[in-house]
């Protein structure tokens, strides 16, 4: 079989897997999923309300605005994701990001120049937690050797299909190992799009969440990260 024929077979396989199973295994999290994500990141990293980390090659604000990352919030279809930290209640979970991202309520950044011990501790915890993105891709590479192979002359669409298929198959394996994936459930429509976009971009909320997280993490037991 020629290399081109093999690549076509691989592409067709990935396309079939994605078409058949993406609705169940490549969906966005439900309210129950978010509760479990919150609990995991709180226990492991000390961050309450953390959804995951973001590490994109392009952090231009216009690119972020066009990104589907926050579409469910903007469209009002995101499930409820409130959390409480340091005695204050917040509406949406957030992603950890480095200092070059915008000050959005849904992106919690490090302090560029920590001026005291609490800010330095927060920055160290935040940077450590962000490494989960790299670890996640490492797990996928360990499970699917094709992700270690140089892309050669593959087209971007083929690379995307391979990656999505690997993520989908990984989620299926996780479910088979007892990490159940909940049903999608209903949409949660709330407010109008303009209001929801302002909630995402709110710099004051960003500062408030970071300050509360800073105090919360500073008050964690000294051996917190050593007890995990």
CA distances for 103 relative to 36, 55, 73, 127, 203, angstroms: 26, 15, 17, 17, 5
What is the reported pLDDT for 227?
Answer: 47
Least trusted range by pLDDT, from 15-19, 28-32, 183-187, 224-228:
183-187
182 compared with 54, residue with greater pLDDT? 54
The pTM for the full model equals 0.78
Arithmetic mean of pLDDT over the chain: 83
What is the CA angle 94-25-197, rounded to 5? 30
The string of DSSP letters for 48-111 reads TTEEEE---S---HHHHHHSGGGHHHHTT-SPP--EEETTEEESS-EEEE-TTS---TTEEEPP
Domains of the chain, residue spans:
3-226
Supply the pLDDT for residue 228: 45
Tell me which residue of 108, 99, 106 sits closest to 65, measured CA to CA.
106
Q: Give me the percent of the chain exceeding a pLDDT of 90.
A: 38
Q: In terms of pLDDT, which residue wins out, 68 or 122?
A: 122
Contact by Cβ (8 Å): 218, 120: no
**CA torsion sign, 48 to 49 to 53 to 54?**
negative
């Amino acid at each position: 079989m020629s290399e081109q024929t093999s690549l076509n077979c691989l592409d067709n396989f990935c396309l079939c897997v994605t078409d058949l199973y993406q609705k169940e295994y490549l969906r966005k999290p439900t309210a129950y999923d978010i509760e479990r994500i919150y609990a995991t990141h709180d226990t492991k990293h000390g961050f309450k309300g953390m959804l995951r980390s973001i590490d994109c090659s392009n952090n231009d604000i216009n690119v972020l605005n066009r990104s589907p990352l926050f579409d469910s919030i903007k469209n009002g279809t995101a499930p409820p994701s409130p959390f409480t930290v340091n005695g204050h209640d917040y509406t949406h979970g957030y992603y950890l990001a480095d200092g070059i991202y915008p000050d959005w309520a849904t992106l919690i950044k490090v302090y560029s120049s920590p001026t005291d011990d609490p800010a330095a501790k927060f920055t160290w915890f935040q940077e450590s937690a962000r490494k989960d993105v790299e670890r996640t891709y490492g797990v996928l590479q360990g499970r699917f050797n094709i992700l270690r192979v140089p892309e050669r002359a593959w087209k971007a669409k083929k690379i995307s299909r391979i990656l999505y298929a690997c993520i989908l198959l990984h989620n299926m394996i996780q479910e088979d190992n007892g990490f159940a994936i909940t049903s999608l459930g209903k949409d949660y429509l709330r407010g109008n799009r303009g209001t929801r976009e302002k909630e995402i971009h709110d710099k004051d909320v960003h500062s408030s969440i970071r300050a509360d997280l800073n105090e919360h993490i500073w008050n964690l037991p000294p051996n917190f990260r050593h007890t995990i």
